[in-house]
Structure 1
Amino acid sequence: MVRLRRMTSALAKIAEFPANPVDMFKQILQAAAKGHPDGLLVDMNLATLDEEFGVLNRTVIYRGLTEDNFPFYITHRYTRNFKNLQANPKAGICFYMTNVQDNEGKDLVTWQVRLIGAKAVELPDCEMDALWAKEELVSQIRGHICPCGEPIDYDVLKAKHDKFLEDHLASGKDLERPKSYTAFKFVPQRWDFLKVGRGEIADRVQYRLQDNGKWEAMHVST
């Protein structure tokens, strides 16, 4: 059977974009949230440099922005990703959102948002209690009992989890924040926004941080 090629092509266009990349990011998140009345979970892919394996990446749930408008990531000091960021704070961040309503039309589009040249800055300990209080119970328990990356006996860990949960519920108290709990914000040199629809060549708008602290925005070829 001969498969016919789609004999069509177009250029996607990001027609309007604000002066600040964070405002652009918020607009995309708002568009992506339409049709999700219970809230939108956005994946955030984080790549770090590891002494043993080279580049390592993991996909986590985007938590939001700090008060000074930088994406942040919650982790524990015993994890490999913490040790990676502590040894080399340069990181790559990527958000990927599909089936987003296009504000300039009725079609659904895909957005890829990257933070280029991002530097990880650990948040002060005084901010950790407020973040810990927002964690779901499952995440709080994980922070207490799971030795990240270490070989385990599943049945042993299951028994440990069930006993920990039972004791916690019986206590009627909030779980204490472990000292290992911490977070990083990511300060980028560039924000890169890619938009594409079906049968289109993607358009990109890139914000480049200038020496005067302001952002310069421009279309760049995909």
Structure 2
Amino acid sequence: MSRPISDIRIEYKRHSLSENDVQPNPIRQFDQWWSEAISSQIDEVNAMTLATASSDGLPAARIVLLKGYDDAGFVFFTNYQSFKGQQLDENPRACLVFFWKELERQVRITGLIEKVSTEESDLYFSSRPESSRIGAWASPQSQVIEDRAILEKNEAELTKAFAGKPIPRPLHWGGYRVKPVNIEFWQGRPSRLHDRISYTLQENGQWQIARLAP
């Protein structure tokens, strides 16, 4: 007999998180946790859940990859005509969630959306493997297609068309930046009494730090 879902649990006890020890700026705190996650050799450490919502409130979430961050925000790339792109046009707000189970840590970033510059999108697109650049042209992301053969046909035709030539970035493909207004750092603790430290951006540009009950 399979194990009941309700019996699946882990006792978190690796680390603790105190508001007295965190950095005054959440990006610097993210720097610290990011470095520790990289050092822990976590598989796809940059994988994050991206949650969006349509103008009517319909939510959607999926895994995307972080491709850069700095004081301005957190950057990912996608097809602007995809379902998430449509939602971000209608409602330019998003939430990102990192879960690093090896460290028993979660980071949740809520913020406003803006497209990155054309130059930034071009630079990242040119760094992608050739197959990924062709894939950005070949896939009408989120649209209904009859079968996989359509994608394979598109890929074959585009591979031939671009042979020996530079592959330009499609205008419908590029980057978004999530400009944070709230960042929460979650550290698993025993007895489900987890540590949660929240940073909220104030009108004066400063960050207010608070502990949240788990």
Q: Which amino acid aligns with 1:130?
A: L
User: Which residue does 2:105 correspond to in 1?
Assistant: 111
Percentage of identical aligned residues: 22
Q: How much does 1:144 deviate?
A: 0.3
How far residue 57 of structure 1 moved from its aligned partner, in angstroms, is: 0.8
Structure 2, unpaired ranges of 5+: 1-6
> Are the counterparts in 2 of residues 70 and 187 from structure 1 also a CA contact under 8 Å?
yes
Aligned equivalents of 1:60, 1:160: Cα separation in 2: 24
* Residue in 1 that maps onto 2:58: 54
Instruction: Report the Cα distance in structure 2 between the residues aligned to 1:185 and 1:48, rounded to whole angstroms.
Output: 13
Which residue does 1:183 correspond to in 2? 175
Deviation at 1:198, TM superposition (A): 5.8
| Contact 1:65–1:71, Cα closer than 8 Å, also in 2 | yes
User: Is 2:18 the partner of 1:26?
Assistant: no
The ranges of structure 1 where at least 4 consecutive aligned residues each deviate by more than 4 angstroms after the TM superposition are 8-12, 197-200
Q: Distance in 2 between matches of 1:144 and 1:52?
A: 30
**Letter in structure 1 aligned against 2:107:** V
Q: What secondary structure, in the 3-state scheme, does the structure 2 residue paired with 1:71 have?
A: strand
* Per-residue CA distance 1:135-172 (angstroms, 9 max, x = gap): 2333212210101122322123223323433554xx33
Whole-Å separation in 1 of the counterparts to 2:53 and 2:41: 35
- Tell me the C-alpha RMSD between the 2 structures: 2.8
Change (3 A) 1:45 1:176: same
SS in 2 for 1:99: helix
Residue in 1 aligned with 2:201?
A: 209
TM-score if structure 2 supplies the norm length?
0.83
Over 3 Å counting, the alpha-carbon distance change for 1:13 and 1:163 in structure 2 is same
Residue-pair matches, total: 203
User: What is the CA–CA distance in structure 2 between the aligned matches of 1:28 and 1:160, rounded to whole Å?
Assistant: 41
Q: Kindly tell me: are residues 154 and 203 of structure 1, through their superposed partners in 2, closer, same or farther at Cα, counting changes over 3 Å?
A: same
Unaligned runs of 5+ in 1: 101-109
Cα–Cα, structure 1 residues 176 and 70, in superposed 2: closer, same or farther, change >3 Å? same
Q: TM-score, normalised by structure 1?
A: 0.80
Moved more, 204-213 or 69-78: 69-78
TM-superposition CA deviations, 1:59-91 (whole Å, max 9, x none): 11111215x441012122221111111111121
Q: Give the 3-state SS of the residue equivalent to 2:73 in structure 1.
A: coil
On the 8 A contact 2:55/2:91 being kept in 1, the answer is: no
Q: Is the 8 A contact 2:17 2:187 kept in 1?
A: yes
Query: Tell me, what secondary structure is at the counterpart of 1:172?
Result: coil
